[in-house]
Amino acid sequence: MDLILAIDQGTTSTRAIVFNKQGEIIEKAQEEISCLYPKSGWVMQDANEIWISTLAVLNRILLSPNIDVNQIKGIGIANQRETTLLWDKKTGRPLDLAIVWQSRQTESICEEWKARGLEDWVKSKTGLLIDPYFSASKIRFLLDTIPGIEEKVKNGEVLFGTIDSYLVWKLSGGMTHITDVTNASRTLLFNIHTGEWDDELLEAFNIPRCILPKVCQTSEVYTETAAHLMGRSIPIAAVCGDQQAALFGQACFHKGAVKNTYGTGCFVLMNTGTKPVCSNHGLLTTVAWKIKGEVYYALEGSVFVGGSAIQWLRDGLRLIKHASDSECYANRVEDCDGVYVVPSFVGLGTPYWDSEVRGGMFGLSRGTTKEHVIRATLESIAYQSKDVILAMEEDIHQSISELKVDGGAVQNKFLMQFQSDLLGVNVLVPTVTETTALGVACLAGLATGVYRHLDEIADSVQAGQRYFPQMDEKRRVQLYEGWKCAIQAVRIFKA
Ligand SMILES: Nc1ncnc2c1ncn2[C@@H]1O[C@H](COP(=O)(O)OP(=O)(O)O)[C@@H](O)[C@H]1O
Ligand SMILES: O=P(O)(O)OC[C@H](O)CO
């Protein structure tokens, strides 16, 4: 039996999942990882913890009686994107904490770049906006703040990577420093038209080329794992940003196909085919994948706080013990009784791109209960996704008739029904909701000969639960108008 191992390194957890050729899960291991919030708006992670969690899940897989390591044909790595790390080339040790994609700590660097009038020029090359979300300002921040870094860079001792690069480096025993086009396209340093690092951008942002990884395709054998890690060397055969991997895992292979992933954030991606499409409504143009020399592009809307709003209910407000408890509380009340929660804890992404806002809670009365707050927080995930989908519809001049969904929070039936009600479209959950892992496993399967054609992969993606809209139009409009007022309010109130 041919097996493929996927590593899905997300913001909330690291997973290792083994699939068979039919896309069925044979074994799975997962470890939650922590985020650090040293200052308001800052979000950081310890790359050592990420690596240790990766080793832990791999070990659990190897110890499983269901797994014969000799059957694993290849490994695919999907990762939280943009999260930025510098490490020491000799020792492999991180030179500082990793700056997580959600972090706003590089706001002033971005303001300075915007003041130089670079925005349109940068967008034309990268498909992105100048925003702390992307890696370039995070690299600049690390180069500006790590003591003695300039000398180390001059001596060729420093490497930059997003989490994919770091994991490939560690898994290959420090032999291979690569990334793929999907991850490169999130750095603000990559020209999506030429498919290469852009020297003019590197010069404008003052980032040395020598620290960057080699950019590869999304599906190809780059290297092998060091033999001691898993008992034998296994080809690393795919690397893909997690949101693009989910697009692939939903079999959105054709122009116009759309999905929304509800993880730490929410990310709506539409396949736009082999030509990049430029947005006028705050969406990003990004690389969907590069396979056998052919590049596909996507339009993307990014919501910075999705499932992490539920973690805030759990860890910040301590209103629930487990993320899944939120569903039961939400169902205990008929509605939010006019309460809106806007969880813009790290600014707002698509379509607002406002990094200075903070979160807000509105419409409170003496009768407001914990249940209302929990329900309003869940609903905020659906409202933010609707904001993004409306922007996408305006860009493509057509409506999205159904929504494929995946990610940790799709287990929440209340949220999925509310999303369907709010959009007025069917919401489709696949049978295997580990879509990101499935996507990157399929990409690795293509590179190792497990699959020959995309059709074989499409067959393994089965529709599972469907949600149908049940809310009347008047109520849908009324609720969404309330949300827009709440958004306006957080944008007016700036601490
Ligand atoms: N039943 C649930 N209801 C609401 N949110 C949930 C539920 N289960 C998980 N989540 C949220 O989903 C997120 C984890 O999803 P996941 O896809 O694993 O994220 P990531 O890929 O970012 O690590 C967490 O932020 C968690 O709060
Ligand atoms: O951790 P996730 O799954 O929400 O994904 C994070 C994104 O890749 C950030 O761009």
ipTM: 0.97
User: Computed over its alpha carbons, how large is the radius of gyration of the chain?
Assistant: 22
At 276, is the pLDDT very low, low, confident or very high (cuts 50, 70, 90)? very high
User: What does the alpha-carbon distance between residue 47 and residue 59 come to, in Å, rounded to a whole number?
Assistant: 18
pTM of the model: 0.94
List, as one string, the DSSP characters of 285-332. Answer: EEEEEEETTEEEEEEEEEES-STHHHHIIIIIS---SSTTHHHHHHHT
Residue from 264, 312, 413, 433 whose mutation best tests the ligand 1 pocket (most atoms within 8 A of CB) = 264
325 CB within 6 A, ligand 1: no
Are residues 255 and 273 in contact, defined by beta-carbon separation less than 8 angstroms?
A: yes
Confidence at residue 356, expressed as pLDDT on a 0 to 100 scale: 85
Report CA(81)–ligand 2 centroid distance (Å): 6
Ligand 1 atom closest to 407 (CA): 17
Are residues 271 and 300 in contact, defined by beta-carbon separation less than 8 angstroms?
A: no
Taking CA atoms only, the protein residue closest to ligand 1 atom 24 is 307
Residues 19-76 have pLDDT tens digits of: 999 999 999 999 999 999 999 889 999 999 999 999 999 999 999 999 999 999 999 9
Determine which helix (DSSP H) or strand (DSSP E) holds 79, and give its type and residue range: strand 72-79
Residues 6+ positions from 123 with CB-CB distance below 8 Å: 129, 278
Calculate what percentage of the chain has a pLDDT beyond 90.
Answer: 91
Calculate what percentage of the chain has a pLDDT beyond 70.
Answer: 100
Does 460 have pLDDT greater than 90? no
Are residues 18 and 269 in contact, defined by beta-carbon separation less than 8 angstroms?
A: no
Does 495 have pLDDT greater than 90? no
Report CA(370)–ligand 2 centroid distance (Å): 28
User: What does the alpha-carbon distance between residue 18 and residue 10 come to, in Å, rounded to a whole number?
Assistant: 17
263 CB within 6 A, ligand 2: yes
Average pLDDT over residues 259-264: 94
Average pLDDT over residues 289-318: 96
Report CA(9)–ligand 1 centroid distance (Å): 13
The distance between the two most distant Cα atoms of the chain, rounded to a whole number of Å, is 65
Nearest alpha-carbon partner for 103 in 129, 82, 86, 118:
82
81 CB within 6 A, ligand 2: yes
Confidence at residue 92, expressed as pLDDT on a 0 to 100 scale: 92
265 CB within 6 A, ligand 1: no
Dihedral of the CA atoms 181, 182, 184, 187 (nearest 10)? 160
Average pLDDT over residues 122-149: 96
At 459, is the pLDDT very low, low, confident or very high (cuts 50, 70, 90)? confident
